[in-house]
Amino acid sequence: MVDLVNSLPKPVTVACFVESLDRPLKVFASNSVASLQLSTGPEDPRWFIFSLPLIISVTSDGPGADLLEIGELQPGNRRTLLGELRLPIQTEITRALPFERIRSGEGTTCGFFCHQNEARDSRIQFAEAFVSKAIRAAPDSEVTLDFLRGVVSRCTSPTASLRCELLHTVLVAGRAQREDFPAGMPVGF
């Protein structure tokens, strides 16, 4: 992930990062508000992009719109290694930055509410990294890609707004395909 970000022209924005991922994008769109990176409505979902073992989440509005949340799924699909980047990124980043960015005190920035059963991951020696219970978006929070294709068709241009830019990047340029969360991952809030 860090190598990819460092290889991209600066500044790296959410849309720029998503545009750099392999096509077709495998995604799940959620209308959930149970996160710092929340959906502000069905027309502006929280996107989960699957590039297993990574699950990347982004949105274009709200308090988490400038965040790239990264979960690296651990064997068994029950835990994720947590990371986060604040975008845009103006310079090269270190391998430790995604782990440092999420830290606050003795755990991650959100603690128990967002990251249940959080524990230090001793495999990561260059930073204090944490794993926590992996959770999936609730099935009833799903926003269909057909609905979102209708939304993007009403954008006057791909860059008319951050929402239109991300919708276009995921659905049109990304040729998005719906993907479910990995088997065995429990439903979150």
pLDDT band at 114 (very low <50, low <70, confident <90, very high): low
Rg (CA), the chain: 16
Domain with 28, as residue range(s), is 2-178
Global pTM?
0.91
For 33-48, the pLDDT digits (tens) are 877 788 999 999 999 9
Residue linked to tokens 């064997």: 75
The number of distinct structural domains making up the chain is 1
Residue type for position 7: S
* 186 inside domain: no
* 153 inside domain: yes
* 183 inside domain: no
* 126 inside domain: yes
* 108 inside domain: yes
* 185 inside domain: no
* 189 inside domain: no
Closest CA to 79 of 185, 188, 187: 185
- Element containing residue 167 per DSSP (H, E): helix 162-167
* 172 inside domain: yes
- Average pLDDT across the chain, whole number: 90
